[in-house]
Chains A and B, each alone.
Chain A
Amino acid sequence: MQYILDGFVEAFYLIFSFDPEIFQIVGLSLFVSLTSTLISTVIGVPLGILLGINNFRGKRTVSRFLYTFMSFPPVIIGLFTALFLARSGPLGQFRLMYTPTAMIIAQMVLVTPIIMGIVFNHASNSGYDVVQTGKTLGANRINILTLLILELKGGIMIALVTGFGRAISEVGAVMIVGGNIKGFTRVMTTFIAMNNNMGQYSVSIAMGIILMTISFLTNSILYHFSEGAKYEDRD
């Protein structure tokens, strides 16, 4: 048991020593996951709203697909992305494999359905009523879009935070397409996995603490918005 305790002591020492390598890794993790979440937002939010507020044939099939995609394991998504980005793959000419860009792409594939699915769900519940009500008050298309975003903002925030939480904590996809290259594609989760394999528990724990702090923060934000959104969906 001693090594666990030692691990924690050393972990705190590591965190407060402000090791530049640790900083660089945390920075890259945040950069990759925030960027992928941002791109996923730009794609997923409008599409989720559009699918949610409209009734069309095959809507159920679309939502079933979305929910399936939402729960895809990161390793599988990493594998798929790798197949596309590999030298001999369809996008091989861009030489993206084992770069932060590849990691962003993989996480984007992971997160977009999550954001889209959650927004879709909220928009299906209350979006149609908001659109109809906007129309009765003379709102034009742009007014209605603004109104929808404001009315669904709780749900949209939940989607973003959930998406980001999934991205920052996943290891499978970034490991496969990033390769955990020191100083280049090494992020928190791959760093932890690697050090754990090498028996260096204290650095793993140190990074684990940082990762958990970030997770904790995102979850508190998530909790805050979920409480707010309860009222939003209510009739």
Chain B
Amino acid sequence: MKIETNHIVKKYGDKVVLDLNGQYSRLLFESGKITGIIGSNGSGKTTLMKIMAGLISAIDGEVRYDGQTFDQDIAMKITYANQRPVLFSRSIYENIAYPLRIRKYPEEEINRIVRGLLEEFEIADIQKQNAKHLSGGESQKTALARALSFSPEVVFLDEPTASIDPKSVQVIEAALKRRNADTGLTVIIITHNLAQAFRLCDRLVFLNQGECLLYDTTEKMRQAQNTTIQEFISFNAF
């Protein structure tokens, strides 16, 4: 699914937290690409992502999904994984099965898919545990497995690997890459980890104080002349 934003503006109270105008007023997220959103804290990354995921509304501008405006049909094909995973108080297995149950998948199908994900995310041995009592890495992997269970066309990820162990990061990145390569899953990911952004992404959006300073290939982002971007990159040097 191709996603296009047009002149998005978001305010909280009187404060403008996002205002995409000028050269980058239109952002096109192509189908089958992995796009990163980077920028310092409070630059509007989460806000932009939640608007694109249909979770909050902008006060101005619009988002188009393959040319359509947001509706329940589109909601059924995209997903968003919160920075702070919200899991349901039931087993890991049932958390992952949830999107399939509401889509009325047959039981054997659910079983097959969930087992596959449990293996892939290396959480099969704890599948019966209540998802309310998990470590950061386990929660993120469960949340991601749940988000991917129904094979969405687009997945929005808000800092999915912030503050979790390197092994889990690797598992998560591998799962995303595999789906992107095999099924053309479109990935839009916010990350503070520039190494990860350069490793994973085809293109990057750079946000600063609610404005987009650059939207280009990862290579172009590295070479950007803009001082804010250069500073950001050198501060996050690895």
Contact surface of A with B, Cβ cutoff 8 Å: 129-130, 132-133, 135-140, 143, 147, 150-151, 231-232, 234-235
Contacts and interface: CB of A to CB of B under 8 A. Distances in A.
B76 A138 contact: yes
B89 A136 contact: no
Q: How large is the interface on B (under 10, 10 to 19, 20 to 34, 35 or more residues)?
A: 20 to 34
Given A129-B86, A130-B86, A136 B79 contact: yes
Interface stretch (B98-106, B118-126, B197-205): B98-106
B92 to A, nearest CB: 15
A143 B102 contact: yes
B75 interface: yes
Given A143-B102, A151-B89, A231-B89, A136 B132 contact: no
B181 interface: no
Q: Which of A132, A138, A151, A232 has the most CB of B within 10 A?
A: A138
Nearest 3 CB-CB pairs, A to B? A136-B80, A133-B86, A138-B76
Contacts of A136: 53, 55, 79-82, 147
Nearest to B56: A132
Interface in B55-94: 55, 72, 75-77, 79-82, 84, 86, 88-90
A235 B130 CA distance: 14
Contacts of A140: 72, 102
20 contacts: A129-B82, A132-B82, A133-B82, A136-B53, A136-B82, A136-B147, A137-B99, A137-B102, A137-B147, A137-B150, A138-B75, A138-B77, A139-B102, A140-B102, A143-B102, A147-B88, A151-B89, A231-B89, A231-B130, A235-B84
